[in-house]
């Protein structure tokens, strides 16, 4: 059975840039490394992290002064953090958040081979680093998954109950559904996001291009329909799989979302799990009964960390929370959950056109899931 799963994964998911777009200089001690072939910035730190699968992955942390939230970014299938470097730095700056990006096993200077299960271990290692090294709190973390990155993002989102929010950028319902118009989940499918997304408890923003020829826009729309707590989605007219960042609507809507998330009270701090060095930080995913796949019916869920530990431990950087305030919904029910469609009201200004702005491709022919950071520059009319 594993061979069939591996075949599906090989056909669909993983195209690491070869050769990697950056190099690494190892330090004498500790996890900290130096990235080469990328600009040096005082607010960026790179680390080599160990995963529970035995691989070592490269992660970069962008610190923003005064940031209240931290974004954990899982990139697409044909990029590495060397290509994503400037984009991640700009996202941190424009959204006013700390940000961690990481390379999957087998990508960039990370060891091992890419696989579905390895990506789950990879994002968990990055998450653990945020908690243990940088003092982040689960309730201050936003998960962001682009394309294949929606897989580890949805998996982690379904296991963590106090995340602040989730962003899905050109997401997939599942690996098999990208290749074939299947309506049911099969045991050999990978990244079964459509089954996991109902278990995500926090607000979810979905962004997808209407002209996506790699992952049809119907994937984003179906995932949004299955969200437990919906936020206004963004369907970018004319946007394809690799260029949504080039549209002014993208950064504008993302900033609006982050601002809304900052204003709402964080989840309760009750029943915080204590970190166990020998176990997962994550609860097992909860899958709705009407979408159980064959392999999910056979598997027994792991005991979660918070079920084994009675005394919670808080990070020293966690701020005091007001547990008395209920979590307000951000699904904009007063607007009848209307989606934000860039095509409904065309703007007259130059930077609001349906077509993306033309800009120099700073990453050359390897840029398949990376945009030019010039799209974030504020124009006279864009604000």
Q: Which residues are catalytic?
A: 147, 212, 241
Residues 6 or more apart whose CB falls under 8 angstroms from that of 92 comprise: 62, 63, 64, 67, 71, 98, 99
CB 27 within 8 A of CB 57: no
Kindly state the tokens that stand for 110: 């990370």
With the C-alpha atoms ordered 173, 177, 183, 186, is the resulting torsion angle positive or negative? negative
| DSSP-assigned beta bridge partners for residue 71 | 99, 142
**Strand-strand pairing, 56-62 and 98-102:** antiparallel
**Neighbour count for residue 332 (Cβ, 10 Å):** 14
Q: Strand, coil or helix: what is 330?
A: coil
Strand-by-strand arrangement of the 165-169 sheet: 23-26, 32-36, 44-50, 56-62, 98-102, 70-74, 141-146, 165-169, 204-209, 234-236, 340-341
**Cα angle, residue 36 at apex, residues 33 and 38 outer, rounded to 5°:** 115
The CA distances from residue 189 to 122, 156, 173, 216, 294, in Å, are 20, 18, 11, 18, 10
Number of H helices, E strands in the chain: 10, 11
CB 318 within 8 A of CB 221: no
With the C-alpha atoms ordered 319, 120, 176, 254, is the resulting torsion angle positive or negative? positive
Residues 6 or more apart whose CB falls under 8 angstroms from that of 287 comprise: 158, 195, 196, 199, 293, 296
With the C-alpha atoms ordered 371, 373, 378, 380, is the resulting torsion angle positive or negative? negative
CB 235 within 8 A of CB 341: yes
């Amino acid at each position: 059975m594993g061979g069939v799963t591996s075949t599906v994964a090989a056909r669909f998911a993983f195209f690491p840039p070869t050769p990697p777009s950056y190099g690494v200089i190892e330090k004498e001690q500790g996890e900290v490394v130096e990235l080469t072939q990328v600009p040096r910035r005082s607010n960026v730190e790179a680390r080599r992290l160990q995963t529970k699968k035995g691989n070592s992955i490269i992660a970069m942390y962008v610190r923003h002064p005064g940031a209240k939230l931290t974004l954990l970014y899982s990139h697409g299938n044909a990029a590495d953090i060397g290509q994503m470097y400037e984009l991640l730095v700009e996202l941190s700056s424009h959204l006013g958040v700390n940000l961690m990006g990481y390379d999957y096993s087998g990508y960039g200077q990370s060891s091992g081979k890419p696989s579905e299960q390895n990506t789950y271990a990879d994002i968990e290692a990055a998450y653990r680093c945020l908690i243990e090294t940088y003092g982040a709190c689960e309730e201050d973390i936003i998960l962001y998954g682009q394309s294949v990155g929606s897989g580890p993002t949805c998996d982690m989102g379904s296991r963590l109950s106090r995340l602040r929010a989730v962003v899905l950028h050109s997401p997939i319902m599942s690996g098999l559904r990208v290749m074939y118009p299947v309506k049911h989940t099969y045991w050999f499918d990978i990244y079964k996001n459509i089954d996991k997304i109902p278990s995500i408890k926090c607000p979810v923003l979905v962004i997808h291009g209407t002209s996506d020829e790699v992952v049809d826009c119907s994937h984003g729309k179906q995932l949004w329909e299955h969200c437990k707590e919906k936020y206004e989605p963004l369907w970018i007219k004319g946007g394809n799989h690799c260029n949504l960042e080039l549209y002014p609507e993208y950064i504008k809507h993302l900033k609006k979302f982050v601002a809304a998330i900052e204003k709402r009270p964080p989840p309760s701090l009750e029943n915080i799990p204590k970190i166990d060095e020998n176990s997962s930080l994550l609860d097992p995913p909860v899958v709705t009964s009407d979408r159980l796949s064959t392999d999910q019916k056979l598997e027994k869920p792991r005991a979660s960390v918070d079920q084994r530990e009675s005394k919670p431990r808080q990070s020293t950087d966690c701020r005091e929370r007001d547990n008395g305030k209920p979590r307000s919904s951000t699904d904009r029910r007063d607007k009848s959950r209307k989606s934000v469609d860039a095509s409904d009201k065309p703007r007259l200004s130059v930077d609001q056109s349906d077509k993306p702005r033309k800009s120099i491709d700073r990453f050359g022919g390897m840029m398949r899931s990376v945009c030019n950071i010039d799209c974030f520059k504020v124009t006279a009319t864009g604000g």
